[in-house]
Structure 1
Amino acid sequence: MIQRRDLLLAAAAATGALPAGAEAPRKVLRCCYNSAEVGFDPPQVSDQTSVAVNAHIFESPLAYDALAEPARLVPQTAAALPEVSADFRRFVFTLKPGIMFADDPAFGGRPRELVAADYVYTIKRFYDPRLKTEHLYQFETARILGLSELRQRAIRSRMPFDYDAPVEGLRALDRYRFELRLAAPDPRFVHLFANAGLTGAVAREVVERYGADLMAHPVGTGPFRLRQWRRSSLIVLEKNPRFREQFFDAVAPEGDAHALAMQRHLQGKRLPVLDEVRISIIEEEQPRWLAFAGGELDTLEMPPGVAPLVLPRGRLAPHLQRRGVQARATVGASTRLSYFNFDDAQIGGYTPEKVALRRAILIAYDNAAEIRLVFKGQALPAQSLLSPSGYGYDPLLRSEMSAADPARARALLDTWGYLDRDGDGWRENPDGSPLLLRLAGVADSRQRQINELWSKQMQAIGLRIVFETGTFGELIKRALAGKLQIWSYSWSVSTPDGDFFLGMAYGPNAEQSNDARFRLAAYDRLYERQRVLPDGPERLALMQQCNRLMLAYAPYIAHWHAIRVDLTQPAVRAYRRHAFNRDWWRYADLV
């Protein structure tokens, strides 16, 4: 039976007003991810689910404008963009006063204001040897004066890291200002401060209170806080009652109809608009799609496997159009890749025969077939790791990854002595020892399809391959420990620059982002030279030289760049996933 109150609320929704004494219905957004979270301490995680959740809880001093194209830095907890010296070696950030952390028992029942010392502490945590992180290189590459030495002192003495020790390169100048000094120029250093995973402020009291259980107790200044967590199943975020007044004021670029609609809907509204976000973990494609089709989810990144059903001939299916479902396609700032572990005796090394083996594998593997058969055309072929959204990307580059050529791969293996000496159908190493490839991946139906392709294409050139599986979190731990030989995964970048992908081959980043553990002095010198240069022709030339060395030695196979299609139910408004910001629920609305 329809109640009188329901009719009143319906009428109020139509007019934008509520009857006196009536409560507005809670706005609850339901969404999902296809991989389980690891936890909610930013330095310790890199999986997409944890990173997205953290971006809504923790806040960096800067962010990217919600609508600007190309990406543009704007203040977030900072009062303005930082002061930057002419030589790009000194940076001073000034915070807005009155920004509060979410309430937590760690604060003893008192409100806790965000201050400059919190960012000093947040950055120092990455240098603590007891904290296992794969992100330290982001700061060490920037060479903040004194911090690496403080870390080494803790390692040598086997004493706890001294968070209170003063260092020249990082200090709070007063309650709201902090300063960083670098050993060398870094024109793009400020982008680290628009990434909640690197510089999202953490309070020392919270870290010390929860210790080993910190991953379950995220406390930040962001628009949401963690209300419920069922591991690998459900994450519930609720609006942070302590969140400051923030009103939407972004301006849509000319000609972007989707951005203009978002601007019109949100202009002047206080953020966040949502009361709650419920995130389900649904690993398999078909259940994710069925949950959206059945109205159990409000948003969904379209699983590639259902593309023929959802986007026949590239257009949203008529039955979805009639329901009012919306679809928006974007090329993500990501690359699907496979790495070869250079410390592995079978696949690694810099000698000509090892280079030939890796290049034969990448020439034989059919990326076009993977895009067509597994990802249903929802990707752009990659020529190198650099993604189209990053500075340094060369749209004219054509590499060996463009088209599979098994005959050429077989000839390369024959030339360098990878022959089937015992007649069992599989090639051995040039010294006659057995040759076995091991590819790691998560245990889901999509990976099984990918494994089938690898098996077929490696068999075509006489290489034996076996498959290892694990959760994403388990595979990250094994990768960091150098225990995986080959691993295929996607990596999304958080800045509009190609430096991140080039850094995946920088020697000092081995055991962090450089999963391949590639170490080549000539490459490292080129990489270091391009890092200190401002954007321009000289830097671009060095970036291209780095890219050519990566293509020559083949520490990675670049497979493709994802085309992401976001589906939303009719009630969803202002949902726009940003290529570099991860806090898109800050802006979303339901009507």
Structure 2
Amino acid sequence: MSPDTASHRLGPSAARWAITAWCTLTLAAAATASEPPVGSASAAPSTVRVAFHGHENGFDPAQISDVVSAALVGSLFDALLTYDHLARPAKLKPNTAVSLPEVSDNYTRFVFRIKPGITFSEHPAFKDKAGRPTQRELVAADYVYSIKRYYDPAVRSPTLFHYQGAGLLGLDELRQKALDTKTPFPYDTEVEGLKALDRYTLQIRVAKPAPRLPYVLATPALSGAVAREVIESLPDTKAAMAHPVGTGPFKLGAWRRGSRIVLERNPAHQHSVHDEQPAADDAEGQAIAQRFRGRKLPMVDRVEVSIIEEAQPRWLAFLNGELDMVWVPDEFVGSAAPQGQVAPYLAKRGVRMTRVVAPTTRHVYFNLENPIVGGYTPERVALRRALALAYNAPRERALMRRGQMKPAQSVIPPQVSGYDPDLKSEMSDYDPQRAKALLDLAGYVDKDGDGWRDQPNGQPLQLELHTEPTQLARQWQGHWKSSMDAIGVKMSFRMGAWQENIKAARAGKLMMWTTGWSAAIPDGSYFLDLMYGPNKGQSNYARFDLPAFNTLNEQQRVLPDGPERQAVIAQAVKLSLAYMPYKASGHDVNTWLYQPRVQGFRPHPFMRDFWRFVALEP
């Protein structure tokens, strides 16, 4: 999942499984809190109540890129593969596929066999030959159609780059033909890169080795199966965002945009069972696995999602016993978990804690096509590096994040390939004196005597940073303003809704934005793609387009994980540090508190809908 998906852009505050969308999951049992015994039809349904900080955009896998939407889509649609919820590091396992794919021809051919008998949730579009309502089985052709939708220009998928990077044979040509002729995308044209060999067998062929393509095919927000009949029954492409019909563990019950989403157990979903396999020395994981092994998933009947933007109401609700789980807002970590331990007043109530370093990177990006901060000439590069050195990221981590952030040495976070725990770089430095020296050397001095630096050509140097209208964003503004004032650089701010900012960012209209990126898959390419030239208009909000970097990114994609690939990624990282299209502040440390009746909870770095693994018991 931006951190905004599937990798995804984070929503307003997290900047997100987004940065920016922090999600705070909270669980509370409904009237009768315990989950009914298996086979009991009379007990009241168990309800998980979840609060997200950040807004959802919709529920169509091909059209979303934010973290909140990706989390919800993960419960509505099924990808071919999934992750073992308890295994660390992340480990793939089959989902709708019978087994992991058959891989051949140096990672250029992948064959999946789909389990028979999996059906979509009910919909009027599903009819038999006589026009009567019928159940609709999931087949290989559904994945062919679903993946092709990412290439359809009418869909305008922000995550198409995941497939274009792999080079599925024939798909780019179909897309280009639709663009050139301004005709509908030819879904019925068969291509070598994506075929249903028979009813249950899917073949994917790529132009170059794609060792990590299975991760994309394990992420519902990147490859969840939709039904063609449903999509074509809708009035337009955008309508798919509000009418999700899948084979996932839940279905959409109700939706009030930006306020409340209800997910209900999908009775058609029968193929998920708790059979996780944690490491032998993982005592916590083993205990969870033994307790729930063999239980059908999900273990709750209903998920109620509320959008609560501010931190204090979420925290107070937890303290009042209205919520059973909370991702502790940074400003309350000191009172909730002093010295890394559950506070005594909470421990007496049986409250438990878990803490993880998330695969997210919080950053501000510079638009490389902006006439003030963009460009590749020495003075523009010096400007961005000086601004990065001048920003007081340690103060952000200490005051805004209350220490709940690990310093970033590059845009690549922990828990993904390519991360180097031994790297120490300029990215983490705070040095306003060096910043001033760089600006002086590059010609950014006060030419008109007004006390503010000007551009080398004498034009005013005026920065503009976009944020969201939240309390956290106002703190960001304060940090940036004081940091820039200290080096004589004038900065103004503009606030807008998350959806407005993300749309403008994709169009290249923002100079700078406080946002971030959260890994949807355990692959460092996901973060290098933020700077890959062809991804402008998709994940590359900075619109960075350096041929040398692009070449390195393409090289590392085709290599299997290992020292050779790590060396190529390290070179790409050095270029990103030299040109500074992003100023990364750090990587989230997430502190979760949960009540005793929440059982089976364990955050997974790449499965955001982990409520399906939770049981509510006395």
TM class by smaller structure:
over 0.9
Instruction: Indicate which of 97, 104, 119 corresponds to 1:85.
Output: 104
Aligned position for 1:229:
255
Instruction: Indicate which of 272, 278, 288 corresponds to 2:314.
Output: 288
- Code of the residue aligned with 1:572 in structure 2: it is V
Q: Which residues of 2 match residues 9-408 of structure 1 at below 5 A?
A: 23-108=42-127, 109-210=133-234, 211=236, 212-408=238-434
Query: Higher mean Cα deviation, 419-428 or 343-352?
Result: 419-428
CA distances 1:89-144 after superposition (whole Å, capped 9, x unpaired): 11111100000111112214210110000000010001111112210111111111
Query: Which structure is richer in relative contact order (CA contacts within 8 A, separation 6 or more)?
Result: 2
SS of the residue 2:82 aligns to: strand
- Code of the residue aligned with 2:212 in structure 1: it is R
Distance in structure 1 (CA, Å) of the matches to 2:62 and 2:592: 28
Aligned position for 1:5:
none
| Kept after mapping to 1: 8 A contact 2:170/2:192 | yes
Name the CA shift for 1:479/1:21 in 2 (closer, same or farther; >3 Å). Answer: closer
Aligned position for 1:452:
478
- Code of the residue aligned with 2:77 in structure 1: it is F
Distance in structure 1 (CA, Å) of the matches to 2:526 and 2:240: 28
Distance in structure 1 (CA, Å) of the matches to 2:538 and 2:176: 17
- Code of the residue aligned with 2:120 in structure 1: it is F
Name the CA shift for 1:381/1:103 in 2 (closer, same or farther; >3 Å). Answer: same
> By how many angstroms is 1:298 displaced?
2.3
| Kept after mapping to 2: 8 A contact 1:47/1:473 | no
CA distances 1:428-477 after superposition (whole Å, capped 9, x unpaired): 10000011111111110001001100000001011111112122221111
> By how many angstroms is 1:21 displaced?
9.1
| Kept after mapping to 1: 8 A contact 2:118/2:271 | no
Distance in structure 1 (CA, Å) of the matches to 2:480 and 2:250: 42
| Kept after mapping to 1: 8 A contact 2:255/2:262 | yes
Give yes or no for the alignment of 1:571 onto 2:590.
no
SS of the residue 2:138 aligns to: coil
Give yes or no for the alignment of 1:557 onto 2:583.
yes
> By how many angstroms is 1:303 displaced?
0.9
Distance in structure 2 (CA, Å) of the matches to 1:114 and 1:471: 38
| Kept after mapping to 2: 8 A contact 1:32/1:297 | no
Identity %: 49
Instruction: Indicate which of 514, 539, 543 corresponds to 2:569.
Output: 543
> By how many angstroms is 1:267 displaced?
1.3
- Code of the residue aligned with 2:215 in structure 1: it is H
- Code of the residue aligned with 2:452 in structure 1: it is W
Aligned position for 1:482:
508
| Kept after mapping to 2: 8 A contact 1:170/1:181 | yes
SS of the residue 1:124 aligns to: helix
Distance in structure 2 (CA, Å) of the matches to 1:214 and 1:390: 31
- Code of the residue aligned with 2:239 in structure 1: it is D
> By how many angstroms is 1:260 displaced?
2.5
| Kept after mapping to 2: 8 A contact 1:65/1:71 | yes
> By how many angstroms is 1:192 displaced?
1.0
RMSD of Structure 2 on Structure 1 (CA): 1.8
> By how many angstroms is 1:254 displaced?
3.2
Unaligned runs of 5+ in 2: 1-30, 128-132
- Code of the residue aligned with 2:83 in structure 1: it is Y
Distance in structure 1 (CA, Å) of the matches to 2:153 and 2:37: 55
SS of the residue 2:531 aligns to: coil
Distance in structure 2 (CA, Å) of the matches to 1:317 and 1:498: 36
> By how many angstroms is 1:22 displaced?
8.1
- Code of the residue aligned with 1:111 in structure 2: it is Q
> By how many angstroms is 1:261 displaced?
3.0
Query: Higher mean Cα deviation, 252-261 or 216-225?
Result: 252-261
| Kept after mapping to 2: 8 A contact 1:439/1:466 | yes
Unaligned runs of 5+ in 1: 1-8
| Kept after mapping to 1: 8 A contact 2:95/2:272 | no
Q: TM-score, normalised by structure 2?
A: 0.91
Distance in structure 2 (CA, Å) of the matches to 1:128 and 1:489: 27
Distance in structure 1 (CA, Å) of the matches to 2:180 and 2:148: 17
Query: Higher mean Cα deviation, 462-471 or 407-416?
Result: 462-471
> By how many angstroms is 1:147 displaced?
0.5
> By how many angstroms is 1:268 displaced?
1.5
